[in-house]
Chain A
Amino acid sequence: MTTKRPAFLMIPGIIAIAFLVIPLLALISDAPWSAFSGILSSPTALDALRLSLITSVVATIVATLVGAPLAWLLARDSLPGTRLIRALVIVPLLLPPVVSGVALLSAFGRRGLIGGAIYDATRWQFPFSTAGVVLAGTFVAMPFLVITLEGAFRSQDREIEEAAAVDGATPRMIFLRITLPLVLPALLAGITLTWARAIGEFGATITFAGNLEGTTQTMPLAVYTALESDRDSAVALSIMLLVVAVAILVSLRGYYLPTRTDRTTR
Chain B
Amino acid sequence: MLARILPPVMAAVIAIAITAPHARADNRPNPYVRSIPASTITVSAAASLTDVFPVIAKAFTKRYPQLQVTFNFGSSNSLVEQIRAGAPVDILATADEASMWRATGANLTGTPILFARNTMAIATPRGNPAKITGLADLKNPTVTVAVCAPQVPCGRLAAELFAKNSLTVTPVTREVDVRSVVGKVIADQVDAGIVYSTDVKAFPNDLTGVSIPSTNNVVTNYPIATVNESRNAQAAKAFVAYVRYSSSAQRILRAWGFSTPW
Contacts and interface: CB of A to CB of B under 8 A. Distances in A.
A109 B187 contact: yes
B254 interface: no
A211 B173 contact: yes
Interface in B163-206: 171-176, 184, 187-190
A127 B146 CA distance: 12
A163 B187 CA distance: 57
B188 A229 contact: no
Contacts of A228: 75, 77-78, 81, 149, 151-152, 176
B149 A227 contact: no
B68 interface: no
A86 interface: no
Interface residues of A, number: 22
Max chain B C-beta neighbours (<10 A), residue from A109, A206, A211: A211
Interface of B: 75, 77-78, 81, 142, 144, 146, 149, 151-152, 171-176, 184, 187-190
Nearest to A212: B173
Interface in A72-118: 105, 109-111
Contact of A128 (B77, B151, B173, B187): B173
Contacts of A210: 146, 172-175, 184
A200 B241 CA distance: 44
A123 to B, nearest CB: 8
A128 B81 CA distance: 28
Nearest to A231: B81
Max chain B C-beta neighbours (<10 A), residue from A110, A123, A210, A226: A210
B235 to A, nearest CB: 29
Would you list the 3 A-B pairs with minimal beta carbon distance, nearest first?
Answer: A210-B173, A229-B151, A228-B151
13 contacts: A109-B187, A110-B189, A128-B173, A210-B184, A211-B173, A212-B174, A224-B176, A225-B151, A225-B176, A228-B77, A228-B81, A228-B176, A230-B151
A15 to B, nearest CB: 23
A105 B184 CA distance: 10
